[in-house]
Protein backbone atom coordinates (compact mmCIF):
# COMPACT_ATOMS: atom_id res chain seq x y z
CA UNK A 1 0.00 0.00 0.00
CA UNK A 2 1.47 3.33 -1.11
CA UNK A 3 0.27 6.54 0.52
CA UNK A 4 1.31 9.87 -0.97
CA UNK A 5 1.51 12.88 1.36
CA UNK A 6 1.64 16.55 0.46
CA UNK A 7 4.95 17.02 2.25
CA UNK A 8 7.26 15.46 4.81
CA UNK A 9 5.38 17.08 7.68
CA UNK A 10 2.15 15.35 6.68
CA UNK A 11 4.08 12.11 6.23
CA UNK A 12 5.56 12.41 9.73
CA UNK A 13 2.16 13.21 11.24
CA UNK A 14 0.70 10.07 9.67
CA UNK A 15 3.64 7.92 10.76
CA UNK A 16 3.33 9.18 14.33
CA UNK A 17 -0.41 8.50 14.32
CA UNK A 18 0.20 4.98 13.02
CA UNK A 19 2.80 4.34 15.73
CA UNK A 20 0.38 5.51 18.42
CA UNK A 21 -2.46 3.41 17.06
CA UNK A 22 -0.33 0.28 16.69
CA UNK A 23 1.21 0.71 20.13
CA UNK A 24 -2.20 1.07 21.81
CA UNK A 25 -3.52 -1.97 19.97
CA UNK A 26 -0.50 -4.19 20.71
CA UNK A 27 -0.31 -3.25 24.40
CA UNK A 28 -4.05 -3.77 24.85
CA UNK A 29 -3.80 -7.16 23.15
CA UNK A 30 -0.61 -8.59 24.65
CA UNK A 31 0.85 -6.13 27.10
CA UNK A 32 3.77 -4.96 24.98
CA UNK A 33 4.71 -3.32 21.70
CA UNK A 34 7.94 -4.04 19.87
CA UNK A 35 9.20 -1.49 17.38
CA UNK A 36 12.23 -1.43 15.10
CA UNK A 37 13.42 2.14 14.60
CA UNK A 38 14.91 3.45 11.39
CA UNK A 39 18.02 5.57 11.24
CA UNK A 40 18.88 8.41 8.91
CA UNK A 41 17.21 11.82 8.86
CA UNK A 42 13.74 11.07 7.50
CA UNK A 43 12.24 9.59 10.70
CA UNK A 44 13.51 12.43 12.92
CA UNK A 45 10.33 14.50 12.57
CA UNK A 46 8.14 11.46 13.27
CA UNK A 47 10.08 10.79 16.47
CA UNK A 48 9.83 14.45 17.49
CA UNK A 49 6.07 14.47 16.93
CA UNK A 50 5.70 11.36 19.11
CA UNK A 51 7.40 13.24 21.95
CA UNK A 52 4.75 15.97 21.72
CA UNK A 53 1.01 16.09 22.35
CA UNK A 54 -1.31 14.56 21.35
CA UNK A 55 0.87 11.46 20.99
CA UNK A 56 2.96 11.87 24.14
CA UNK A 57 0.04 11.27 26.48
CA UNK A 58 -1.63 8.64 24.29
CA UNK A 59 1.27 6.22 23.84
CA UNK A 60 1.81 3.44 26.44
CA UNK A 61 5.52 4.24 26.66
CA UNK A 62 6.34 1.95 29.59
CA UNK A 63 5.24 -1.12 27.61
CA UNK A 64 7.22 -0.44 24.45
CA UNK A 65 10.47 -2.14 23.52
CA UNK A 66 12.69 -0.19 21.13
CA UNK A 67 15.11 -1.90 18.79
CA UNK A 68 17.09 -0.57 15.82
CA UNK A 69 17.14 -1.85 12.25
CA UNK A 70 20.74 -0.80 11.95
CA UNK A 71 23.47 1.21 13.60
CA UNK A 72 26.62 2.90 12.53
CA UNK A 73 29.65 1.80 14.60
CA UNK A 74 30.50 5.29 15.83
CA UNK A 75 30.81 6.68 19.38
CA UNK A 76 27.45 6.95 21.14
CA UNK A 77 27.73 10.77 21.18
CA UNK A 78 28.53 10.92 17.45
CA UNK A 79 25.78 12.76 15.53
CA UNK A 80 25.80 9.91 13.00
CA UNK A 81 24.57 7.45 15.63
CA UNK A 82 21.05 6.17 14.96
CA UNK A 83 20.54 5.58 18.68
CA UNK A 84 21.53 9.18 19.44
CA UNK A 85 19.02 10.39 16.86
CA UNK A 86 16.20 8.44 18.54
CA UNK A 87 17.22 9.55 22.04
CA UNK A 88 17.56 13.19 21.06
CA UNK A 89 14.29 13.31 19.13
CA UNK A 90 12.17 11.00 21.29
CA UNK A 91 13.44 8.60 23.94
CA UNK A 92 14.95 11.21 26.27
CA UNK A 93 11.61 13.07 26.32
CA UNK A 94 9.07 10.34 27.06
CA UNK A 95 8.62 7.93 30.02
CA UNK A 96 10.13 4.80 28.47
CA UNK A 97 11.76 2.17 30.65
CA UNK A 98 15.56 2.16 30.24
CA UNK A 99 15.57 -1.65 30.23
CA UNK A 100 13.20 -1.60 27.25
CA UNK A 101 15.64 0.26 25.05
CA UNK A 102 17.78 -2.18 23.09
CA UNK A 103 20.51 -0.35 21.20
CA UNK A 104 23.05 -2.06 18.97
CA UNK A 105 26.20 -1.64 21.01
CA UNK A 106 29.34 -1.32 18.94
CA UNK A 107 31.72 -0.93 21.85
CA UNK A 108 33.75 -3.92 20.70
CA UNK A 109 34.15 -5.05 17.07
CA UNK A 110 31.31 -4.70 14.53
CA UNK A 111 31.11 -8.48 14.27
CA UNK A 112 30.87 -8.76 18.06
CA UNK A 113 28.09 -6.16 17.98
CA UNK A 114 26.20 -8.09 15.32
CA UNK A 115 26.60 -11.41 17.13
CA UNK A 116 25.61 -9.93 20.49
CA UNK A 117 22.50 -8.26 19.02
CA UNK A 118 21.49 -11.54 17.44
CA UNK A 119 21.72 -13.19 20.87
CA UNK A 120 19.77 -10.35 22.47
CA UNK A 121 17.02 -10.68 19.88
CA UNK A 122 16.84 -14.45 20.34
CA UNK A 123 16.62 -14.05 24.11
CA UNK A 124 14.03 -11.27 23.87
CA UNK A 125 11.80 -13.25 21.56
CA UNK A 126 12.44 -16.22 23.83
CA UNK A 127 13.59 -18.48 21.01
CA UNK A 128 10.35 -17.92 19.09
CA UNK A 129 10.20 -16.26 15.68
CA UNK A 130 11.03 -12.57 16.15
CA UNK A 131 7.91 -10.76 15.04
CA UNK A 132 8.25 -7.01 15.50
CA UNK A 133 4.88 -5.28 15.81
CA UNK A 134 6.10 -2.32 13.78
CA UNK A 135 9.19 -1.72 11.65
CA UNK A 136 10.12 1.73 10.35
CA UNK A 137 12.54 1.71 7.43
CA UNK A 138 14.17 4.43 5.37
CA UNK A 139 15.31 4.20 1.76
CA UNK A 140 18.69 5.30 0.48
CA UNK A 141 19.01 6.84 -2.98
CA UNK A 142 20.91 3.69 -4.00
CA UNK A 143 18.00 1.53 -2.89
CA UNK A 144 19.47 0.37 0.42
CA UNK A 145 17.38 0.05 3.52
CA UNK A 146 18.58 -0.35 7.07
CA UNK A 147 22.21 -1.13 6.26
CA UNK A 148 21.38 -3.73 3.65
CA UNK A 149 23.71 -2.19 1.11
CA UNK A 150 24.00 -2.94 -2.61
CA UNK A 151 26.41 -5.79 -3.25
CA UNK A 152 26.87 -6.68 0.42
CA UNK A 153 26.94 -10.27 1.66
CA UNK A 154 24.11 -9.48 4.11
CA UNK A 155 21.68 -9.46 1.18
CA UNK A 156 22.08 -13.21 0.80
CA UNK A 157 21.85 -14.01 4.52
CA UNK A 158 19.01 -16.48 4.97
CA UNK A 159 19.62 -17.68 8.54
CA UNK A 160 21.26 -15.00 10.68
CA UNK A 161 19.25 -12.06 11.90
CA UNK A 162 22.16 -9.61 11.96
CA UNK A 163 25.12 -8.82 9.73
CA UNK A 164 27.83 -6.23 9.28
CA UNK A 165 28.25 -3.93 6.33
CA UNK A 166 30.49 -1.11 5.19
CA UNK A 167 30.06 1.66 2.65
CA UNK A 168 33.38 2.32 0.88
CA UNK A 169 33.01 6.06 1.36
CA UNK A 170 32.45 5.79 5.13
CA UNK A 171 35.15 5.36 7.78
CA UNK A 172 32.92 3.24 10.01
CA UNK A 173 31.25 -0.16 9.77
CA UNK A 174 27.56 -0.80 10.21
CA UNK A 175 25.48 -3.45 11.89
CA UNK A 176 22.18 -4.31 10.26
CA UNK A 177 19.25 -6.58 10.76
CA UNK A 178 18.79 -8.87 7.80
CA UNK A 179 15.71 -9.25 5.63
CA UNK A 180 15.27 -12.67 7.27
CA UNK A 181 14.17 -11.09 10.54
CA UNK A 182 12.64 -7.86 9.19
CA UNK A 183 10.25 -9.81 6.95
CA UNK A 184 8.73 -11.56 9.96
CA UNK A 185 7.26 -8.28 11.21
CA UNK A 186 3.54 -7.66 11.57
CA UNK A 187 3.84 -4.27 9.87
CA UNK A 188 6.67 -2.66 7.90
CA UNK A 189 6.48 1.01 6.93
CA UNK A 190 8.96 2.71 4.61
CA UNK A 191 9.27 6.45 5.24
CA UNK A 192 10.51 8.09 2.04
CA UNK A 193 10.78 11.84 1.50
CA UNK A 194 12.60 14.21 -0.82
CA UNK A 195 13.16 14.49 -4.55
CA UNK A 196 16.46 12.62 -4.26
CA UNK A 197 14.52 9.39 -3.68
CA UNK A 198 12.09 9.80 -6.62
CA UNK A 199 14.01 7.79 -9.22
CA UNK A 200 14.98 4.88 -7.00
CA UNK A 201 11.47 4.73 -5.57
CA UNK A 202 10.00 4.60 -9.05
CA UNK A 203 12.45 1.88 -10.05
CA UNK A 204 11.56 -0.16 -6.97
CA UNK A 205 7.79 0.22 -7.15
CA UNK A 206 7.36 0.24 -10.92
CA UNK A 207 10.18 -2.17 -11.85
CA UNK A 208 13.38 -1.37 -13.71
CA UNK A 209 15.13 -4.68 -14.28
CA UNK A 210 17.68 -3.60 -11.63
CA UNK A 211 17.74 -5.16 -8.16
CA UNK A 212 17.70 -2.94 -5.08
CA UNK A 213 18.19 -4.20 -1.50
CA UNK A 214 14.91 -2.61 -0.40
CA UNK A 215 13.16 -5.11 -2.68
CA UNK A 216 14.19 -7.85 -0.26
CA UNK A 217 11.62 -6.43 2.16
CA UNK A 218 8.61 -8.65 1.53
CA UNK A 219 6.81 -9.40 4.82
CA UNK A 220 5.99 -13.10 5.15
CA UNK A 221 2.52 -12.40 6.52
CA UNK A 222 2.66 -8.78 7.68
CA UNK A 223 1.54 -5.52 6.16
CA UNK A 224 3.92 -3.52 3.94
CA UNK A 225 3.26 0.21 3.61
CA UNK A 226 5.07 2.99 1.79
CA UNK A 227 4.65 6.48 3.24
CA UNK A 228 5.92 8.84 0.54
CA UNK A 229 5.93 12.61 0.27
CA UNK A 230 5.00 14.30 -3.02
CA UNK A 231 8.64 14.97 -3.93
CA UNK A 232 9.75 11.36 -3.52
CA UNK A 233 6.57 10.19 -5.24
CA UNK A 234 6.82 12.59 -8.16
CA UNK A 235 7.65 9.81 -10.66
CA UNK A 236 4.93 7.39 -9.58
CA UNK A 237 2.37 8.68 -12.07
CA UNK A 238 1.92 5.26 -13.64
CA UNK A 239 0.86 3.95 -10.23
CA UNK A 240 -1.77 6.66 -9.75
CA UNK A 241 -4.48 4.00 -9.74
CA UNK A 242 -2.93 2.24 -6.75
CA UNK A 243 -1.83 5.27 -4.76
CA UNK A 244 -3.71 6.66 -1.79
CA UNK A 245 -3.36 10.43 -1.90
CA UNK A 246 -3.68 12.13 1.46
CA UNK A 247 -4.67 15.75 1.03
CA UNK A 248 -3.41 17.99 3.83
CA UNK A 249 -6.52 19.59 5.40
CA UNK A 250 -7.00 23.08 3.98
CA UNK A 251 -4.42 22.47 1.25
CA UNK A 252 -6.82 22.67 -1.74
C1 LIG B 1 21.15 4.47 8.06
C2 LIG B 1 19.71 4.22 7.82
C3 LIG B 1 19.46 4.15 6.35
C4 LIG B 1 18.54 5.31 6.06
C5 LIG B 1 18.53 5.65 4.60
C6 LIG B 1 17.72 6.93 4.35
O7 LIG B 1 21.63 4.12 9.15
O8 LIG B 1 21.78 5.07 7.20
O9 LIG B 1 19.15 3.22 8.48
O10 LIG B 1 18.89 2.97 5.90
O11 LIG B 1 17.22 4.98 6.50
O12 LIG B 1 19.88 5.86 4.19
O13 LIG B 1 18.35 7.96 5.08
P14 LIG B 1 17.69 9.44 5.11
O15 LIG B 1 16.40 9.30 5.83
O16 LIG B 1 18.70 10.27 5.86
O17 LIG B 1 17.51 9.86 3.67
Q: For residue 9, is it within any domain?
A: yes
Q: For residue 252, is it within any domain?
A: no
Q: Residue 67 is part of which domain span?
A: 2-246
Chain segment 168-182, per-residue pLDDT in tens: 999 999 999 999 999
Q: For residue 98, is it within any domain?
A: yes
Question: HEC states along the chain?
Answer: CEEEECCHHHHHHHHHHHHHHHHHHHHHHHCCEEEEECCCCCCHHHHHHHCCCCHHHHCCHHHEEEEECEEECCCCCCCCCHHHHHHHHCHHHCCCCHHHEECCCCCCCHHHHHHHHHHHHHHHCCCCCCCCCEEEECCCCCCCECCECCCCHHHHCCCCCEEEEECCCCCCEEEEECHHHHCCCCEEEEEECCHHHHHHHHHHHHCCCCCCHHHHCCCCCCEEEEEEECCCCCCCHHHHHHEEEECCCCCC
> What confidence tier does 212 reach under pLDDT thresholds 50, 70, 90?
very high
Pocket of ligand 1 contains residue 81 by CB under 6 Å: no
Q: Measured from the CA of 147, which atom of ligand 1 is nearest?
A: 10
Q: For residue 251, is it within any domain?
A: no
The number of domains in the chain is 1
| Cα–ligand 1 centroid distance for 125 (angstroms) | 26
Pocket of ligand 1 contains residue 82 by CB under 6 Å: yes
Nearest CA to ligand 1 atom 7: 39
Taking the CA atoms of residue 73, residue 79, residue 82 and residue 84 in that order, the dihedral angle to the nearest 10 degrees is 110
Give pLDDT, residue 239.
80
Mean pLDDT of 8-13: 98
Question: Does the pLDDT of residue 249 top 70, yes or no?
Answer: no
Chain segment 59-91, per-residue pLDDT in tens: 999 999 999 999 999 999 999 999 999 999 999
* pTM flag (> 0.85): yes
Q: For residue 46, is it within any domain?
A: yes
Q: For residue 103, is it within any domain?
A: yes
Pocket of ligand 1 contains residue 42 by CB under 6 Å: yes
Q: Measured from the CA of 148, which atom of ligand 1 is nearest?
A: 10
**Ligand 1 pocket, mutate which of 8, 11, 40 (most atoms under 8 A from CB):** 40
CATH number of the structural domain spanning residue 19: 3.40.50.1360
Amino acid sequence: MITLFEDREALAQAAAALFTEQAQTAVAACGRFTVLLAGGETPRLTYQLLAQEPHRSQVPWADIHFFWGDERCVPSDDPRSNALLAHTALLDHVPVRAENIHPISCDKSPQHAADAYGVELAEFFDGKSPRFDLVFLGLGDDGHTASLLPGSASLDEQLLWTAIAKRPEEDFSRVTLTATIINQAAMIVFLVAGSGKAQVLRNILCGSGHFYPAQLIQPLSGDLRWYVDSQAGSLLGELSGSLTKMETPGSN
